[in-house]
Structure 1
C-alpha cells in the first residue's frame, strides 16, 4: 500500500450518559500511520486512547471528523466494515479472556478465516490448515502442529498472547492494533512479545498501532508517539524527539516515572482526568498542570491563557514534533527568536 495507511482528522466521538449529558471521549484528534510504521498511543486510563483505536478500526463512528484507510474514507456499511476487518486486526490485552476456553488453538486461529469465508484458502491461496500453521509459526509457536489440539488453559500467558497474534496474522492484515499487548504478562515475557511485533513489522511490512499507558514500552518499540489527554493528542512526533525532549508538562510527568529515566525527578500529578462531560476551559490539562501550580506558567506570563484560552487540535505531522501547550509554545518561540 502506497501513501498513508490510516489517517484520522478532527475525530470527535460522543457518548450520552444516563443523566442525558454528553461525554466527549474524543474531542478532536488527528493521527496518521504509514505502512510499516509503529505508532504508540500513550496516556492514562480515561485519556481516550482506546476509544481512538476503536474508532480507527471502525468500531465507533465519529460524530465529527473523518477516518481514512488508504485513500478512502471508512465505509460504515456492513459490507464496508467486513472488508476493513480483513485488513485491520486487533490484539486484545487479556489473552485469557479473549480466547474461547472451549476452542482449541487451531480453531481460535482459524476463526477469522471461517467468519470471512476463507476456509478454502487465505488471501495467499493456502489451505486453512496451511494458513493456521504458517500464522502460528510467524507468531513464534513452533512446531505449530504440536499446538493444534491444545486448549488455552494448557498454555502459558506468553503462548496465549502469541495465539491471539497468530489469529490476527492468519488474515494477512495491513494493520495490527495492539491494545496493551504486554500488560498482563510477566516481565520476562514482555520483551519477547515486543520483539515479535517488531519482527512482524520488518518481515511483513505491517503497520502497528500500540495502545499503552507505558512510555517505557513506547520508547522500546515505537517509531512515533502520540500522547493523549482527555480526548485529545497533546504531544506527538518521532519517539526519540518526544521522549528525549518532552515539551508538554503531562508528557514530562508520564516520562518522569519511567525507570529508564533516572535523570528526571518523579512528578506526581494531583487528582484524576476530569469528567469528559465537563471538559475544563482553556488548556484541558490546566487543573493538574505542575507548571501552573508551581508558578512557572505565571512567571512566563501564560497563566491566564492556560486557564482561559483553548488550544487548537494538533495536526498529524509525521515528520515533526508538535505540542499543544501555551508554555511550551512560548518557550519554543523564544528559542527560535534567540537563534
Structure 2
C-alpha cells in the first residue's frame, strides 16, 4: 500500500515539543520531512540528541507530533486505539536493547506469540497455520533454526545475537510491510553485528520489507542503506542516496561525522567542539553554526552573517536528489542546497 507518489511512509513538517512544568519548551523535532518507499532501507544518522530516535518514535505513532503529520499509504495516521493497532501491525519497531525489550518471565515462544494473539493473526492466516507453526516460521525467518528447540528457552539463556533475532521474529510474525530498527546492533559484538545486518538485507530482498534504521554509525549506514538522512538538533541537514552523500558529503556536520569513520581512511579527523545544544535553546540562524568547523577556520567567512542569523528551510522529503541545508553550500551554487 503506497500513496500516489509510491511512498509507503511519509512524515511532513514534523515537530515534537516537550514542555516542562515551568513552561519551558524543548524542541526535540523542529520541522522534519522524511519519506520511505517500499523495499527501501533508509538510515537516520546523527549524534545522541540529534532527534533521530524521536523522529522514529513519531513515525511509529509512539509520539504524537505537535505539528505536521504522518501518512501511511497516503492516509493520515489515526491516533485512535483501532487506528494505531492497524498501523502497528503493518509497521513494527525493533528496539536497541533486546535484554530490556524481552520480558524475562516469558519464553521465546510466548514473546513471539504475544503479537500474534493481540492482532488475531492465527484466525486470518491464509495458509491455515496454527499458532505454533506461525511462531516457528517467524523464528526461522529470523535465522533461528531449528525454531522448536528455542520455544521453551528464556531470554537469559540466549546470546545477545539470539535475543535480537527473537525481537525481529516477533516483528516478522505480524507480516509487516516496514520495520523501524532503533540502533539494532549497537549492543552486539562486531561479528554478530554483521549477521544481523545481513539478515535485514535478506528480509528486504525476500519480503520486500522497507526498513528505517536509526544509528549513530555512518559505517553501518554505508553498508546497509539505500538512502541516508543526517539529523542535527531536530532537523534533517543532509539527505540523499547513501553512496552519494557519504562519498561526497556537502554539509560540514556530515563531513565531521564521516571523518572519524575508520573505513574512510580520513587523514585528519574533524573533532567537533562542544555538544549538541540544549533543544530549549536552539541557536539562531543555522543551528549548527556554534560548532561549525567551516566558520571556525574562516572558510565560511563569506556567509558568516547568514549562518549566525538566517534560518534555513526544512529539506524536502523527496526520495530523489542530494539535498543540503547549509548557507555555505548554497553560496557556492551547489544544486539542491
Q: TM-score, with normalisation over the residues of structure 1?
A: 0.96
- Displacement, 1:117? 2.8
Q: Does 1:164 align with 2:175?
A: no
Q: Does 1:149 align with 2:152?
A: yes
1:291-314, Cα deviation, whole Å (9 max, x unpaired): 00111111xx10000000000000
Task: Give the SS at the match of 1:130.
Answer: helix
Partner of 2:34: 31
- Once residues 263 and 213 of structure 1 are traced to their aligned partners in structure 2, the CA distance between those partners, rounded to angstroms, is 18
Q: Does 1:247 align with 2:260?
A: no
Partner of 1:307: 308
1:257-314, Cα deviation, whole Å (9 max, x unpaired): 101011352010011111111110000000000000111111xx10000000000000
For the 8 Å contact 2:226–2:242, the answer to whether it is kept is: yes
Equivalent residue runs for 1:1-339 within 5 Å:
1-2=1-2, 3-120=6-123, 122=125, 125-298=128-301, 301-333=302-334
- Displacement, 1:126? 2.4
For the 8 Å contact 2:285–2:307, the answer to whether it is kept is: yes
- Displacement, 1:187? 0.5
- Once residues 19 and 49 of structure 1 are traced to their aligned partners in structure 2, the CA distance between those partners, rounded to angstroms, is 26
Instruction: Name structure 1 gaps, 5 residues minimum.
Output: none
For the 8 Å contact 1:234–1:325, the answer to whether it is kept is: yes
- Displacement, 1:122? 4.0
Task: Give the SS at the match of 1:153.
Answer: helix
For the 8 Å contact 1:113–1:122, the answer to whether it is kept is: no
Instruction: Name structure 2 gaps, 5 residues minimum.
Output: none
Task: Give the SS at the match of 1:279.
Answer: coil
Q: List, as ranges, runs of 4+ consecutive aligned residues in structure 1 with deviation greater than 6 Å.
A: none
- Once residues 60 and 281 of structure 1 are traced to their aligned partners in structure 2, the CA distance between those partners, rounded to angstroms, is 26
Task: Give the SS at the match of 1:29.
Answer: strand
- Once residues 183 and 18 of structure 1 are traced to their aligned partners in structure 2, the CA distance between those partners, rounded to angstroms, is 34
- Once residues 222 and 72 of structure 2 are traced to their aligned partners in structure 1, the CA distance between those partners, rounded to angstroms, is 26
Output the aligned Cα RMSD. Answer: 1.3
1:305-332, Cα deviation, whole Å (9 max, x unpaired): 0000000000012110000000012223
- Displacement, 1:188? 0.8
- Once residues 165 and 126 of structure 2 are traced to their aligned partners in structure 1, the CA distance between those partners, rounded to angstroms, is 21
Task: Give the SS at the match of 1:273.
Answer: coil
For the 8 Å contact 1:44–1:229, the answer to whether it is kept is: yes
- Once residues 125 and 95 of structure 2 are traced to their aligned partners in structure 1, the CA distance between those partners, rounded to angstroms, is 22
Q: TM-score, with normalisation over the residues of structure 2?
A: 0.96
